[in-house]
């Protein structure tokens, strides 16, 4: 088989706001080869990721992603790896390339799974897929009272783990942060697991982050996530050295190296990988292998649709000890409607990856039509991309 | 003053080939504030970098670069730093953002220099700008005989240092590589400095790179550049541990962290920074400061116009000990014609940064007209970018 077509569907809510909710738009990717097709999703900024696929070549090491993908043979996982290596070399100077490639790579695994009639986790070498305990991933409220309500609501919905992120934390005084942390714990009750994500708010200020450690330990937080930018490894290491609680990070990793760096140099205890950014399922699986070998816990990162959720769980589906998983708690309608089926929690609150071929997720083409963004890119008098030419 | 306009000019040679020559296209940036304007240049993939400026917002941490730039006050270097920090946070999930911002940042320094009637290196805190010894930066020939000719030609043009890169190295057998290295040395004569750049060809294969070390040492190469991808820090460190010759890398650094990592973890002896990628002149200056503090040599990376060349030299203009600099040897006509003046070498073969305000480089608007690429991006029924609307 050869890769005959790669189609991008830029979807968006009618209104996009500045809240830190990544489910407000989506870039869906469909790859066609032979009689089969697979679906994937790229994380963030659809227009820019499409541009990285269709842009004119700048030079030999700055080729559009399309040049390394279209027409390539695709008969097994080794072909995915070969194409990935080609992109790493031929699109070396195209910074956005890993985000674009991530969605395509996921779609290729989905496609191969359909061809072989096997779930992706089997193609990855796992004999079994173990249930994961989802944590409800949501933003802090604007006030501690709101945070309390959100925590109570998640608990009422039978979530046994909840992560709060972003919002006001680190933007005001210590007392406000403390109030939010305590409100979260009170809303959850004392048995549920609580994680806190501060969205890189402290830049490189280790002391500012350290000032929150006693509060977080007091409410029994499992981890502190992203106190600093993904690459501020020295800051991660300095904070880890003075924290009994483990640090978490990695969603910004756009290659396997960055995931390794957070483990080797940043000393995180949880490495969080988004298959929609790191280059897809292949490098995410290698990151999971590396986590195993270094006694660090692998966790998926995902905040959008259940297609992205399924993709993000495959790399560590067979790793029983890594039980916890991120689970979008209240995504926008777009992210919810994008798929016909969903990874529902069972009575004990666990999620199970489908045994059906590929990613096991059915796309809702009706939703695509509803949320599709009208986009056209023309350069050098040629239409490089037009949503009008898309079929589904 | 406020930033009133940021204009992008996508320029391209009529034909772009797969050779590793980065001067085949260019993204020129003009920033206007008050009665002033400044010029900068982004490295690589103009369409994608423009897209990162004009794209619709995905969410609060994935805003287009324009949202952090347009309308911002710009009265001094501290404003540039403030905008950079804003982009790091608000465009965290937009991978291409640092490349887009780099050109804008450079233009802002040029603009501030014009406002204050001072060269950029003075704004950076240097009292003096020291001459740099340029190395002719060019690609290996297809055959050793061609490499010999290219080396002889550079020597005949009075270059006392030459860097050969890319081409056949690492793609064939050891003997071929050896022949090229020897041909380069023979063409140069024994006194000229010789550097070798292999363009990440060895992926993570430390042994393959190590096999070239004795050959390179035999021809007296000053450094081996980019044996591995920028982020393969463990591979750099492993090779550095078995090499007497120093390693060089860093052109792929798209933030200050990555430059530091190559020094701290990769153990390079030369850190090569492209102001058109790392986020502009500010972070490049901090990388130079860090190099000083760690006894590593800072070198500019640049392969395009003399606007980019001037920008790349500013961060270490006042560091006398870091004498060597990259200098495009045979750029495409586009890169040459883009500026009215050039940093010519003096009789001793040195280049001097201009003492005139800003970057000291005059843009050739006639050349812009000649090489301008017709580009239009429309989304959600709105024209986000159109080259037809550009004035100059």
Tokens of A129: 């897929």
Do A62 and B85 count as a contact with CB atoms less than 8 A apart? Answer: no
What pLDDT does residue A388 have? 86
Do A48 and B51 count as a contact with CB atoms less than 8 A apart? Answer: yes
pLDDT confidence bin for B241, thresholds 50/70/90: very high
Tokens of B41: 């240049």
* Cα three-residue angle B333-B337-B341, rounded to 5 degrees: 135
Tokens of A147: 């945070």
- The one-character DSSP state at B41 is E
Segment A80-87 long-range contacts (CB within 8 Å, at least 24 positions apart): A80/A105, A80/A108, A80/A109, A80/A112, A80/A280, A80/A282, A81/A282, A83/A108, A84/A279, A84/A280, A84/A282, A84/A283, A85/B203
Determine the average pLDDT of the residues in B271-292.
Answer: 98
Determine the average pLDDT of the residues in B152-172.
Answer: 92
| For chain B, the helix, strand and coil percentages under 3-state DSSP, each to the nearest 5 | 40, 20, 40
Distance CA A2, CA A34 (A): 7
The shortest CB-CB distance from B58 to any of A45, A56, A201 is to A45
Compute the nearest-CA separation of B357 from chain A (Å).
31
The shortest CB-CB distance from B375 to any of A10, A58, A378 is to A378
Distance CA B191, CA B220 (A): 10
Distances in Å between the Cα of A362 and the Cα atoms of A217, A276, A331, A341 are 42, 18, 18, 6
Do A255 and B231 count as a contact with CB atoms less than 8 A apart? Answer: yes
What pLDDT does residue A3 have? 98
Q: What contacts A189, CB < 8 A, 6 or more positions away?
A: A155
Contact status, residue B253 vs residue B277, Cβ threshold 8 Å: yes
The shortest CB-CB distance from B380 to any of A231, A373, A384 is to A373
Do B60 and A17 count as a contact with CB atoms less than 8 A apart? Answer: yes
Q: Classify burial at A293, counting beta carbons within 10 Å of its beta carbon; exposed 0-12, middle 13-18, buried 19 or more.
A: exposed
Q: Are strands B193-197 and B161-165 parallel, antiparallel or unpaired?
A: parallel
Chain A residues in contact with B44 by the CB 8 A cut-off are 58-59, 62, 93-95
Which residue is associated with the tokens 């692998």? A298
Find the Cα–Cα–Cα–Cα dihedral A152, A156, A160, A165, rounded to 10°: -40
Compute the nearest-CA separation of B366 from chain A (Å).
19
Q: What stretches of chain A adopt beta strand conformation (E)? A: 3-12, 25-33, 36-42, 133-139, 161-165, 193-197, 221-225, 246-249, 270-273, 297-300, 324-328, 375-379, 382-386
Q: In this predicted model, what pLDDT tens digit does every residue of B170-196 receive, in sequence order?
A: 999 999 999 999 999 999 999 999 999
Tokens of B150: 């290219």
Alpha helices in A157-280 (DSSP H): 174-188, 206-210, 213-218, 233-241, 256-264
Tokens of A322: 């890594």
Q: What contacts B373, CB < 8 A, 6 or more positions away?
A: A56, A379, A380, B10, B11, B12, B25, B46, B387
The shortest CB-CB distance from B45 to any of A47, A93, A277 is to A93
10-residue averages of pLDDT along chain A (392 residues): 97 95 96 97 95 98 98 98 97 98 98 98 98 93 96 93 92 95 96 95 95 97 96 98 97 97 98 98 98 98 96 98 93 97 95 97 95 96 91 74
Do A25 and B58 count as a contact with CB atoms less than 8 A apart? Answer: yes
- Which of A42, A43, A47 is best to mutate for the B interface (most B CBs within 10 A)? A47
Chain B residues in contact with A95 by the CB 8 A cut-off are 44-45, 48, 95-96, 98-99, 254, 277
Compute the nearest-CA separation of A29 from chain B (Å).
17
Determine the average pLDDT of the residues in B63-70.
Answer: 98
Distance CA A80, CA A84 (A): 6
Do B55 and A47 count as a contact with CB atoms less than 8 A apart? Answer: yes
Percent of chain B's residues with pLDDT above 90: 94
Compute the nearest-CA separation of B371 from chain A (Å).
11
Sheet with B36-42, side-by-side order of all strands: B3-12, B25-33, B36-42
Helical pair B256-264 and B281-294, crossing angle rounded to 10 deg: 20
Closest CA to B8 of B43, B36, B40: B40
Distance CA B148, CA A131 (A): 63
Q: Are strands A36-42 and A25-33 parallel, antiparallel or unpaired?
A: antiparallel
pTM: 0.96
Tokens of A386: 């037009």
What pLDDT does residue B36 have? 97
- Which of B15, B46, B59, B67 is best to mutate for the A interface (most A CBs within 10 A)? B59
Tokens of B317: 């203009």
Complex prediction ipTM: 0.96
Q: What contacts B392, CB < 8 A, 6 or more positions away?
A: B7, B9, B30, B365, B368, B369
Percent of chain B's residues with pLDDT above 70: 100
Compute the nearest-CA separation of B3 from chain A (Å).
22
Q: How many residues does chain A have?
A: 392
Q: Classify burial at A299, counting beta carbons within 10 Å of its beta carbon; exposed 0-12, middle 13-18, buried 19 or more.
A: buried
Distance CA A48, CA A41 (A): 14
pLDDT confidence bin for B44, thresholds 50/70/90: confident
Do B93 and A379 count as a contact with CB atoms less than 8 A apart? Answer: no
Chain A residues in contact with B229 by the CB 8 A cut-off are 88, 92, 255, 257
- The one-character DSSP state at B165 is E
Distance CA B252, CA B266 (A): 14
CA-nearest residue to B45 within chain A is A58
Distance CA A184, CA B322 (A): 54
- Which of A17, A48, A140, A328 is best to mutate for the B interface (most B CBs within 10 A)? A48
- The one-character DSSP state at B14 is S
pLDDT confidence bin for B55, thresholds 50/70/90: very high
Using the predicted structure, report yes or no on whether residue B330 has a pLDDT greater than 90: no
Which residue is associated with the tokens 């760690």? B294
Distance CA B308, CA B109 (A): 13
What pLDDT does residue B82 have? 98
pLDDT confidence bin for B30, thresholds 50/70/90: very high
Chain A residues in contact with B378 by the CB 8 A cut-off are 374-377
Do A261 and B258 count as a contact with CB atoms less than 8 A apart? Answer: no
Using the predicted structure, report yes or no on whether residue B299 has a pLDDT greater than 90: yes
Which string of DSSP letters, residue by residue, matches A267-326?
--SEEEE-TTTTTSHHHHHHHHHHHHHHT-EEEE---S-HHHHHHHHGGGTT-TT--EEE
Q: In this predicted model, what pLDDT tens digit does every residue of B248-276 receive, in sequence order?
A: 999 999 999 999 999 999 999 999 999 99
Q: In this predicted model, what pLDDT tens digit does every residue of A243-267 receive, in sequence order?
A: 999 999 999 999 999 999 999 999 9
Chain A residues in contact with B234 by the CB 8 A cut-off are 260, 264
What pLDDT does residue A100 have? 98
Determine the average pLDDT of the residues in B158-179.
Answer: 93
- The one-character DSSP state at A12 is E
The shortest CB-CB distance from B373 to any of A199, A255, A380 is to A380
Do B378 and A374 count as a contact with CB atoms less than 8 A apart? Answer: yes
Do B47 and A377 count as a contact with CB atoms less than 8 A apart? Answer: yes
**In this complex, how many residue pairs, one in chain A and one in chain B, have their CB atoms less than 8 Å apart?**
222
Q: In this predicted model, what pLDDT tens digit does every residue of B72-90 receive, in sequence order?
A: 999 999 999 999 999 999 9
Which residue is associated with the tokens 């883009």? B338
- The one-character DSSP state at B389 is G
Chain A residues in contact with B24 by the CB 8 A cut-off are 58-59
What pLDDT does residue A387 have? 94
Distance CA A208, CA A195 (A): 18
């Amino acid at each position: 088989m050869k890769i005959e077509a790669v189609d991008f569907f830029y979807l968006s809510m009618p209104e996009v706001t500045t809240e830190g909710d990544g489910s407000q738009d989506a870039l869906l990717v469909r790859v066609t080869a032979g009689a089969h097709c697979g679906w994937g999703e790229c994380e963030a900024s659809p227009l820019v990721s499409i541009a990285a696929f269709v842009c004119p070549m700048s030079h030999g090491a700055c080729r559009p992603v399309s040049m390394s993908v279209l027409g390539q043979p695709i008969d097994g996982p080794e072909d995915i790896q070969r194409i990935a290596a080609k992109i790493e070399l031929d699109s070396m100077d195209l910074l956005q390339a890993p985000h674009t490639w991530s969605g395509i790579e996921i779609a290729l695994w989905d496609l191969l799974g359909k061809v072989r009639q096997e779930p992706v986790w089997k193609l990855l070498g796992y004999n079994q897929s173990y249930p994961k305990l989802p944590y409800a991933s949501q933003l802090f409220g604007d006030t501690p009272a709101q945070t309390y309500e959100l925590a109570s609501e998640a608990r009422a919905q039978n979530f046994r783990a909840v992560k709060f992120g972003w919002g006001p934390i680190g933007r005001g005084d210590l007392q406000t942060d403390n109030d939010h942390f305590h409100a979260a714990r009170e809303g959850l009750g004392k048995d549920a697991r609580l994680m806190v994500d501060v969205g890189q708010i402290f830049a490189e200020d280790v002391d500012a982050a350290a000032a929150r450690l006693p509060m977080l330990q007091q409410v029994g937080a499992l981890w502190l996530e992203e106190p600093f930018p993904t690459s501020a490894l020295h800051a991660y290491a300095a904070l880890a050295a003075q924290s009994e609680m483990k640090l978490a990070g990695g969603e910004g990793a756009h290659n396997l190296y960055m995931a390794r760096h957070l483990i080797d140099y940043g000393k995180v205890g949880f490495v969080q990988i988004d298959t929609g950014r790191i280059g897809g399922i292949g490098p995410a699986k290698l990151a999971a292998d590396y986590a195993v070998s270094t006694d660090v816990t692998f966790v998926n990162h995902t905040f959008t649709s259940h297609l992205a959720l399924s993709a993000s769980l495959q790399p560590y589906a067979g790793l029983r000890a890594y039980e916890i998983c991120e689970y979008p708690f209240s995504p926008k309608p777009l992210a919810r409607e994008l798929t016909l089926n969903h990874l529902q929690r069972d009575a004990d609150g666990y999620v199970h990856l489908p045994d059906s071929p590929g990613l096991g997720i059915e796309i809702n083409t009706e939703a695509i039509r509803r949320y599709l963004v009208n986009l056209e890119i023309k350069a050098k008098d040629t239409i490089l991309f037009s949503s009008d030419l898309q079929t589904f």
